Each structure stands twice: as structure tokens, then as C-alpha cells.
Structure 1
Amino acid sequence: MSESTTIETRNGYGTALAAVINFPEDFDASRTHPAVIVSHPGGGVKEQASGLYAAKLAEQGFVTVAYDASFQGESTGEPRQLENPHIRTEDVSAVVDHLTTLDYVDNARIGAMGICAGAGYSANAAINDPRIKAVGTVSLVNIGQMFRNGWDGSVKDADAAPVLGTGADARTTDAQGKDNPFPLAPMREEDAPNEELRQAWEYYHTPRCEHPNAPGFMTARSLSQIITYDAFHKAEAFLTQPLFVIAGSRAGSKWMSDDLFARAASEDKSFHVVEGANHMELYDGEKEVAEALGKLGPFFADKL
């Protein structure tokens, strides 16, 4: 059972989040339940990976929420497709705000997880917001690291200065009324540098999982916030909640999961590697998703 809802944010930007709340089979509105917020990848929407994980976690006994980020999907906000990481982190806490108003949610048992950039935002939200009591990540991406350092972490911070310049230039042309899209995944198959990122193109731009609300790009001005952003800022001090990290053994992005795991202050943290899986296969691969959920469900049940 599920229902659509709208969540008003208090982030100062006046956005409203379009969300789907999923209920466990034994849901009883007269008692309280644990809840898990599921955040989508950069460029994704709630009808894709986050919705899949949210629905499956509900089957394991949780109230779950999958939502569209501010400025994206069915949520409100201009300019469309803005990927401001600070606001996306705030969105997670905005969902927590909403959950605390629901009589059937136990405020002491709210967890958060995400896929790809949504996992990074979930970690960042938990650093800032101790109301989040447990954190799960799948194919985690720290979007700042990815755009600074490249998919495999091989680029030095300072060498990302031209990309920062692209974001600044886009702000100038935006002010002149021009649109500046910037791809979050390859927009064409021939643009993909490897099989893993070819699958990213396939996921967003073919019947594999394409959705009209997920165009696969962001505003180029977003780069001016992304390049200097660190989803793990002060994790060494404040990410003290139980943490469960999941990544594929063949994921080019795995180094970012390794980094969060090393930096998190939590004394209760676990890392599960899905052998043979790449980054994208944990979005929708039947076997890979089942393995991830087989770990996340018990983790949240134990910690919430």
C-alpha cells in the first residue's frame, strides 16, 4: 500500500517535494512504526531506483518515503534540474520534518538511505541531523568528489578548476536568459567511456528505466556548488549513527564508499561488497538489489 503526498520544505527556497509513502503489510495507523527515507541518484526520480528500494523495504516492515528532489521530478522549484547539493541534503531533513508530524511514525526510529548521489546526501544529512538514527548507502557517490576527482578518483582537486569555471560562466549566461544543461550521465551511448557508464546511459535513456521526469542532465550552474562540496564534511566528528555501506566489487565509484567508511566516526559500521557487481547493477539488477536489500532490511530492523 502506498500514497502520494506533498512535503513543504522550510529550506528558504519555498519548494514542495512530491513524495510517495509506502506502508508495510501489517501497517496499523493506531501505533507507531520505524521509517526509512530513500533518496534518489543525481538525475533520477522517485519512480526509479529509490522507489524500488523504498517499496521493497516497506515489504520488510518499514514506513518508507521516496521523493523527488527540490527543482526536479514532480517537485517544485526554479530553475528546473538544479542540482544544488546543499539543498538536496536539506531535502532529506525536510522529509524527516514531515515524518515527525505523522502520528504513526516513531520519531526515535527514523533512518535514511540513498543510491549514488542520494547516498552521499543521506550521509551528509545524518552528519547535520541527529534525528536520523541509522544510515544506509548503495553505490555511494559523494557528488563533489566525483566532479572534482573523476569517476575513479584520479583527478587532483586543483585540476577541476576549469569545471568550476564552467559553472561560473553558466551563472553569467543564465542571468542573460540562456539555458545551460550539463550531463549527469552520458546523454548518448557513444559518449560513455566504459561499460559501467554505458549502463548509466542505458538506465536513463532506454526502456531499461527511462522516465520522462528524469532527463539525465542538470543546470550547469550547479557546478559552482558541487565542485567545492564534500558530502562527508565533518563525518569524523558527527557521523556517529550506525552505518551500513554497500558497493559493487567492480564499481568504479567504490573508492567513495571506502572514503566514507574510513572517515565516519560511527563505532557501529559495516561494509558489504556485492561481488561481481558494478555501480549501475545495484540500481535495478534483480540479484544485486535483492542482495543489497537482504542486508539493509535487517540492518534497519536492528538499529531502528
Structure 2
Amino acid sequence: MPNVTFKNLNGQGITMAAVINVPAGFDESKQYPAVVVSHPGGGVKEQAAGLYAKKLAEHGLISIAFDRSYQGESSGEPRQLENPYISTEDVSAVVDYLITLPYVDSDKIGAMGICAGAGYSANAAINDRRIRALGMVSAVNIGQMFRNGWDGSVKDAEALPYIEAGTHARTADARGNDMAVMPLAPMKEEDAPNNELRGAWEYYHTPRCQHPNAPGFTLARCLTQIITYDAYHKAEAFLTQPILAVAGSNAGSKWMSDDLLARAASTDKTLHIVEGADHMDLYDVPRYVDEAISKLAPFFLTKLK
């Protein structure tokens, strides 16, 4: 599992950090299909993305888990920026890197992600035809989640105060104040609004999977981009690639997987339900992750032929 760094060609002067996984018996003189794996919002490559990437490699795929710009071991200031447009472009930046590797078949590249990383992967697939197949685990369209709520019950217009809060934060930032932050997952157990999101606190802030590069928050200024962002924009016209979405039967976020599949132009799209799992269970609970991989690995191996 070599750690690599490479320049992001999207104009921000970013150096990306990633981990490449190769299958058993890897032969650098041959070419393999490859999958880009994007981490959840607030996460890093050493957590869920790295776990899925490692397991995909065990099934014969090259996989690469990376830290998004401004996060983890990737460079960029200010730290913990979660601009969804940049996060989408990061997926294509990793594809830019993969096609330079002699052992990657540039005609056989897929993308997948977990949580917000799944949304960013979908948006990248809409924009980038080099992505030939899309996998999603506990998909979150980060714009929908912030403006419509975890369960989709809030109307768009009711999110206007969040845009205003982001606007005020940007003004304060410009005037030299300390940059305001906001949580991407509950920072304290008592902040969790329900048991499912208590799992997010546990994942990021306890020995379950905490990591020093994943503080679990972003900058308040990002609200001006997040609230109006739609990871599935123009999926009705341009998302024609094969899609596999994996979601837990008990996941409050499942509606965002349903929405993508309903909107996508693809005629090859499948939803696999993991019975008994909630959103966070699919990050690291072995039996649920193994079930997800049992669908994702054959999907990519078949679609990236």
C-alpha cells in the first residue's frame, strides 16, 4: 500500500495525498482496472475510504483512497475547507493521476465513495466521462442534507438562514477574525439528535475510528457553497454510466440514494439494501462492509471489463 503524492491540476496549487492498493500477485507490466474511493465528509483516507479501497484490491482491482484538498495529508489553506465544487473536482484530479500510471487501464476507471464522498463521486461521474462506473455507499448529497435535513423533511427555502450565516462568516474571515467552524458530525455525544447520528459521534470521536487528521468539523464559510450545491445536478441528462448504490435498511439517509437512482439517465442502475444496517454501520461494521463489498467488487469487475 504505497503512499503517494501528486499535483492536483485544477488550479488551486494543491498537492494530493493518497494510498494506492494493488491486488495479490500484482504485476507492474500488466494493466488493471482501477477505482477511486472518496471519504465521507469530515473523514480521511485512513478511515472508511481506506477500508473499502483495501477490500476492493483484495478482489483484483487497483484502488486509491485519497484525502480531499484542504483536508488530511493533502495540502491547501485554509484547513478543513469543504467546498463541494472543489471536492468534486478532486475526484477527477485523482483520475488525472491514475491515467499516468502504466499499470492502470485508463479505459477502465470507476469511482465510488461513502457518505458525502459518494455524492462527490456521482457529481464527478456526471462531469467526467473517464469514470466508467459509479458505486455509492450510504450516499449523501451534501447540499440536500444541509438544506433539507437528515431525513429530507425541510424545504429548500427554510435553509436561507444557513446561507446568511455562511455569508456573515465570510465577512468575518475577510476582516481577519478567527475562522468560524461548524460540525460535520456531532462533536459531543449529547449533541447527537438521534441514535443513528450518535454513531457519527462515536465513529469520529472515540477509539472506534477516530484519527488525528479527521477533526469532524469544517469552516462556516462553506455554507454559502454547500447549501446551493446539488451533487446530482444534470444527472437526468449526463449520468449514463452503470450505478450501484448500497444503503442500509435503517439509514435515515437512504432517500438520497433513492433520489440519485430516480434522477440518473443510466439504464443500468441498482440499489442494494443491507438489512439491519444504518448509515454509519456501513462505514466499518465488518458484516455490513463485507456485504457491501460482495456487491461492489463484482460490479466494478464486470462494468470495467
TM-score class, shorter: over 0.9
Q: How does 1:21-100 map to 2 (within 5 A)?
A: 21-100=20-99
| Matching residue of 2:103 | 104
Contact 1:39 1:50 in 2 (8 A): yes
| Matching residue of 1:231 | 231
| Matching residue of 1:192 | 192
User: Per-residue displacement from partner, 1:226-276 (whole Å, max 9, x unpaired)?
Assistant: 000000000001000000001001000000000001001111111100011
| Matching residue of 1:263 | 263
CA distance in structure 2 between the aligned counterparts of 1:97 and 1:3, rounded to whole angstroms: 18
| Matching residue of 1:292 | 292
CA distance in structure 1 between the aligned counterparts of 2:25 and 2:33, rounded to whole angstroms: 12
SS at 1:164 equivalent: helix
Aligned length: 303
Give the percent of matched residue pairs that are identical in Structure 1 and Structure 2. 70
Moved more, 118-127 or 8-17: 8-17
CA distance in structure 2 between the aligned counterparts of 1:82 and 1:107, rounded to whole angstroms: 30
Letter aligned with residue 221 of structure 1? R
| Matching residue of 1:160 | 159
Letter aligned with residue 247 of structure 1? A
| Matching residue of 2:150 | 151
Q: How does 1:4-15 map to 2 (within 5 A)?
A: 4-15=3-14
User: Per-residue displacement from partner, 1:34-69 (whole Å, max 9, x unpaired)?
Assistant: 000000000000000000000000000011000000
Contact 1:7 1:94 in 2 (8 A): no
Letter aligned with residue 215 of structure 2? P
Q: How does 1:272-287 map to 2 (within 5 A)?
A: 272-287=272-287
SS at 1:255 equivalent: helix
Q: How does 1:203-214 map to 2 (within 5 A)?
A: 203-214=203-214
User: Per-residue displacement from partner, 1:107-133 (whole Å, max 9, x unpaired)?
Assistant: 010000000000000000000001000
| Matching residue of 1:219 | 219
CA distance in structure 2 between the aligned counterparts of 1:176 and 1:72, rounded to whole angstroms: 24
TM-score of the pair, normalised by structure 2: 0.99
- Root-mean-square deviation (CA, aligned residues, Å) is 0.5
CA displacement at 1:26 relative to structure 2:
2.1
CA displacement at 1:176 relative to structure 2:
1.9
User: Per-residue displacement from partner, 1:154-194 (whole Å, max 9, x unpaired)?
Assistant: 00000000011111111011112222111000000000010
SS at 2:70 equivalent: coil
SS at 1:173 equivalent: helix
Letter aligned with residue 38 of structure 1? V
CA displacement at 1:7 relative to structure 2:
2.0
CA distance in structure 1 between the aligned counterparts of 2:20 and 2:44, rounded to whole angstroms: 14
TM-score of the pair, normalised by structure 1: 0.99
Letter aligned with residue 188 of structure 2? R
CA distance in structure 2 between the aligned counterparts of 1:39 and 1:73, rounded to whole angstroms: 12
| Matching residue of 1:136 | 135
CA displacement at 1:200 relative to structure 2:
0.2
Unaligned 5+ segments in structure 1 are: none
CA displacement at 1:105 relative to structure 2:
0.3
CA displacement at 1:10 relative to structure 2:
1.3
Letter aligned with residue 186 of structure 2? P
CA distance in structure 1 between the aligned counterparts of 2:243 and 2:78, rounded to whole angstroms: 34
CA distance in structure 2 between the aligned counterparts of 1:41 and 1:238, rounded to whole angstroms: 24
